[in-house]
Amino acid sequence: MDKTDTRELGDSDRTRGALARKEQDHGDQGKLFHLPLQRRELIYRVVLQGLDTLTNLKILSIQSNRLTSITGLSSLPNLEQLHISHNALISLSGLESNTNLRVIDISSNPIDHLTGLSQLTHLEELWASYCKIGDFAEIERELKDKEELETVYFEGNPLQLRQPALYRNKVRLALPQVKQIDASK
């Protein structure tokens, strides 16, 4: 552990249970700030259950697992970044209590609706490339009130693939506060 008291566990630990035991052994409950669990091929009951003691967690990286749901994060009020790309998510429900989220990466999930983001008033970046989002009206409805939103990625979605030449202009009209769309400004 480093001198700034930032706690990070992950690469050598195979399951959430091992992380919890390691944290208890060091007397650091509630002090873990970053939990990287990407590419672990973990299932919901291993990853998302038992996170309630990690109340100071700011970054949760659970990409490339087989997750179908993101319920179970309500006990993480300080969560600022959620990296959950390359899973099997079809819904964003379960984020209602995570009002401090600033960055969400849901890329490469079969998500076709953005419902579930209404409480996330501090959202700055939404990475949703290669999902199944197809409706500009929904993007406007779900994201227009996000005043801090500056970056969105919708590349590879039906709404981008149908009219690639008009895509960025439509996003700009729907979300005038956004400064970066995909990899270009």
Q: Residues 6 or more apart from 180 whose CB is under 8 A from it?
A: 150, 151, 152
How many structural domains compose the chain? 1
| 159 pLDDT tier (thresholds 50, 70, 90) | very high
CATH of the domain at 12: 3.80.10.10
| Domain range enclosing 169 | 1-185
- CB distance 87 to 66 below 8 Å: yes
Name the average pLDDT for the chain.
81
The whole-number average pLDDT for the span 178-184 is: 93
The H-or-E segment that residue 32 falls in is strand 32-36
Q: Residues 6 or more apart from 173 whose CB is under 8 A from it?
A: none
DSSP H helical ranges for the chain: 16-25, 44-47, 136-143, 158-161, 167-174
Backbone conformation region of residue 181, classed left if phi is above 0, alpha if psi is from -120 to 50, else beta: beta
Would the pLDDT of 161 be above 60?
A: yes
pTM for this model (two decimals):
0.78
| 185 pLDDT tier (thresholds 50, 70, 90) | low
